[in-house]
Amino acid sequence: MIGKTYTTMLGSQELSIETGKLAKLVSGSVTLRYGDTVVLVTAQARAEKSTLDFLPLTVEFEERHYAVGKIPGSFHRREGRPGEKAILSARITDRQLRPLFPKGYRHETQVIITVLSADGQNLPDVLGPIGASAALSISDIPWQGPTACVRVGQVDGQFVLNPTTDQLAHSRLDLVVAGTRDAVMMVEAGAQEVSEEDLVAAIEFAHAGMQGVLDLIETMRAELGQEKFNFLADGDLSTDLVPELAEQARAAGLRDALLTGKKKDRSAAIRALRDRLIEARIPAGEVEGAEERILALKSAFGKVEKQELRRLILDDDLRADGRNAKTVRPIWIEARALPRAHGSAIFTRGETQVLGVATLGTERDEILIDDLTAETGDKFLLHYNFPPYSTGEVKRMGGQSRREIGHGNLAKRAIRAVLPSFEEFPYVLRLVGEVLESNGSSSMATVCAGTLALMDAGVPIKAPVAGVAMGLVMEGERYRVLTDILGLEDALGDMDFKVCGTAQGVTALQMDIKVGGITPQVMREALAQAKEGRLHILSKMAEVLPSPRAELSPTAPRIISLKINPELIGKVIGPGGKQIRELEAMGAQITVEEDGTIRVFSADGAAAQAVKARIEGLTREAKVGEVFTGTVVKTAPFGAFINLFAGQDGMLHISQMSEERINAVEDILNVGDTLQVKIAGIDDRGKIDLIRPELEGKIAPREPRAPRPGGDRGGRPPRRD
């Protein structure tokens, strides 16, 4: 028998993990199946130690279009660089794995997740982390797992473990949770204004639901796990230096340096203090061994700095910029900052500043999606830009980083929950968050700036959304939750917990833990404190823009919607698209849907109205009883053809022209004459019979025309092919 399979129930379906059958040359390899979704996950590490001073872990999420029976839509018809969804899926896996590698481990490690089959109902993004945990657990790679990952939805008030895509479509919550046996390590969520208590309950539900998966992986490790290879951690020369250096640093004014108000000034003061202490220990001109000693002293000073900062927070409730744990930094806001943008706002909180810019477009502007989902497009775009100048640095600028994609997606999920439907507001929306300054929580500032930009443009959002980043400093049983963290507190703290929402509830959530995990009690406290901070920020936003502007921005284009009979769409498009090109030449973009909905989009309101009037004329339908002033366009022995409106004629029979009998139509009417006529009837072929309203009741009505044999072929027999 090739391979061995382990199974457990996860939600309503069986999860199977097979190993020993595929990709056997790699250190750890597993194949997961859930429904008809199949994922291959491999884990491999280099034998040689890396020279990098950080953990060189890479996680790749590979989508194969054959998994859903599709040929890629690219020019070369093969998969290219990972799309946004694949990158976000890779980040979910990375964030649960990274904290559990041993301290000092520096071997280049790669986890590759390949989607082999996707059934469209069971999403592969949460299978990747489970597979990565299993592959690492049975491999020879040092890793302190296992972990598991599950998704939770809320349908009809009930939590659902690993919901299908159909269930998610009706869910108020899309929550992904990763954790160990005892604690939660990573949370990612989008929600429809869900309460904090419901979120905690959902996270506890998720943690309970993943226990069977953890049991399964531990069984695999016990039966098949390889011996972990020994790795050589860097010799840390700095450890012995910490106690003495800490005493000297405190005596030299480390506390004052750490409590310097501005980021640049604080960094300069700390750096100057460190350099003075190093110079005092290494005499000028000393060369032998100096570089190694300087590096050790710098490392030791970094540990002293971290210890002192955490001590100030835990003992004195005092942070680097002078705030206590619950205080939000000063906020200032400017709306309509850009004269030509459809909507814009600057949101500044402390030393973090984001310019939010909203642009309104048509359906032609929606982004096309070519991945393993059934989605074909997205009418809401949010792009987050993090240039190096925002942190006072010089770096190479290239494409969008994975971090930028992740932060942008968090802001997008937060705001999407309050957007009007496309039927209510038929615009494609693009938001751009330009990070101009960054000292902590630029993604949350993007949520605030983006919300304000939409309101400035006049987009009728359901409620304003704000975001705040929470931190944590934990030493044993002691801990303190921090509101609106600085970049320094993010780097030296134990948690990054971002919470977005309205005054009514949470719309997005992201949590990463750098320690072994946190308990539900800490999570409740963090969410409650985050709500206080969020409400404070929303109040500041309301001082500038309490609600969306009543009118669209003057620079924003206008969309006029109208509905026509679907059978008349051909009249609007015309032969080969000739008619619609003529309409667009009048100064508008036009979209036509199969149900007869037409949208006219133009920056010129008058042009839009003119195009609308033209379309209404082209598609106008006559109704029995309507009265028109028509023009005679043709006469015949039996009557006159009268034009009622563009493209529509009716026939006035000779018997309906006068109370007296007449011998010829021309005795009464000639081509070019105008007269009032009323529609008396419309037959099954759309032919219109007219009468003269002033003669109605004075002459006998004409008998309706009988249908002609052969349908609309004028009595001719049907053609036989």
Rounded to two decimals, the pTM is: 0.83
Per-residue pLDDT at 237: 55
Cβ-in-10-Å burial (0-12, 13-18, 19+) of 155 comes to middle
Residue 496 among known ligand-binding residues: yes
Omega cis (within 30) before 146: yes
> What integer pLDDT is reported at residue 280 of this predicted model?
82
User: How many C-beta atoms lie closer than 10 Å to residue 554's C-beta?
Assistant: 9
How many other C-beta atoms lie within 10 A of the C-beta of residue 606?
9
Q: What is the pLDDT of residues 233-243, one digit of tens each?
A: 655 556 677 88
Q: Can you read off the two tokens belonging to residue 48?
A: 């040689």
pLDDT at 709: 46
Fold of 4-224: Ribosomal Protein S5; domain 2 (3.30.230)
458: left (phi over 0), alpha (psi -120 to 50) or beta: left
Going by DSSP bridges, is the β-strand pair 173-179/148-155 parallel, antiparallel, or unpaired? antiparallel
Pull the structure tokens for residue 605. 């309101």
Q: Binding site annotation covers 236?
A: no
User: Considering the chain, what percentage of its residues have pLDDT values greater than 90?
Assistant: 57
Q: How far apart are CA 37 and CA 160, in angstroms?
A: 19
Decide if 99 contacts 179 (C-beta within 8 A): no
pLDDT score at 682: 86
Long-range interactions of 187-190: CB distance < 8 A, separation 24+: 187/509, 187/510, 187/511, 188/92, 188/509, 188/510, 188/511, 189/413, 189/506, 189/508, 189/509, 189/510, 190/413, 190/414, 190/416, 190/417, 190/507, 190/508
Name the 3-class secondary structure at 228.
coil
Tokens of 398: 């290239």
519: tokens are 């308990």
Q: Reduce the DSSP state of residue 112 to 3 states and report it.
A: strand
Give strand pairing partners of 309: none
**Is the CATH code 3.30.1370.10 the one for domain 558-619?**
yes
Residue 286's contacts (CB-CB under 8 Å, 6 or more residues apart) are: none
Tokens representing 175?
Answer: 């929550």
Supply 223's token pair: 């039966």
CA distance 561 to 583: 15
**Which residues lie below 8 Å from residue 317, measured CB to CB, with a gap of 6+?**
324, 325, 480
DSSP state for residue 660 in the 8-state scheme: S
Locate 652 and state its tokens: 């006035």
Q: For residue 331, give the nearest of 535, 549, 547, 550 by alpha carbon.
A: 535
Fold match, 331-544 / 626-695: no
Q: Two tokens at 177?
A: 């949770």
CATH of domain 626-695: 2.40.50.140
CB atoms within 10 A of CB 590: 22
Q: How far apart are CA 618 and CA 604, in angstroms?
A: 21
The answer to whether the CB of 56 falls within 8 A of the CB of 41 is no
What is the C-alpha separation between 487 and 490, in angstroms, rounded? 5
By the 8 A CB rule, do 656 and 690 touch? yes
Every domain of the chain and the residues it spans = 4-224, 239-316, 331-544, 558-619, 626-695
DSSP annotation string for 317-373: ---TTS--TTPPPPEEEEES-SSSSSEEEEEEETTEEEEEEEEEE-GGGSEE--SSS
Residues found in the chain: 721
Measured between alpha carbons, how far is residue 639 from residues 648, 678, 683 in Å?
16, 15, 17
With 0-12 / 13-18 / 19 or more C-beta atoms within 10 angstroms meaning exposed / middle / buried, residue 222 is exposed
In this structure, what DSSP letter does residue 465 have? -
Mark the ranges of the chain whose per-residue pLDDT is less than 70.
1, 233-239, 283-289, 374-375, 516-517, 703-721
- Token pair of 521, please? 């009690």
Nearest to 583 by CA among 570, 574, 594: 574
Coil, strand or helix at 608:
helix
**What is the structure's pLDDT at 91?**
95
In whole angstroms, how far apart are CA 79 and each of 23, 85, 283, 368? 21, 14, 59, 15
17 contacts 220 by C-beta, under 8 angstroms: yes
* DSSP letter, residue 421: P
CATH topology of domain 331-544: Ribosomal Protein S5; domain 2 (3.30.230)
Token pair 């060369």 is found at 287
Residue matched to tokens 């660089």: 81
Q: Which residue has the tokens 């299993």?
A: 134
Residue 150 in tokens: 């599950």
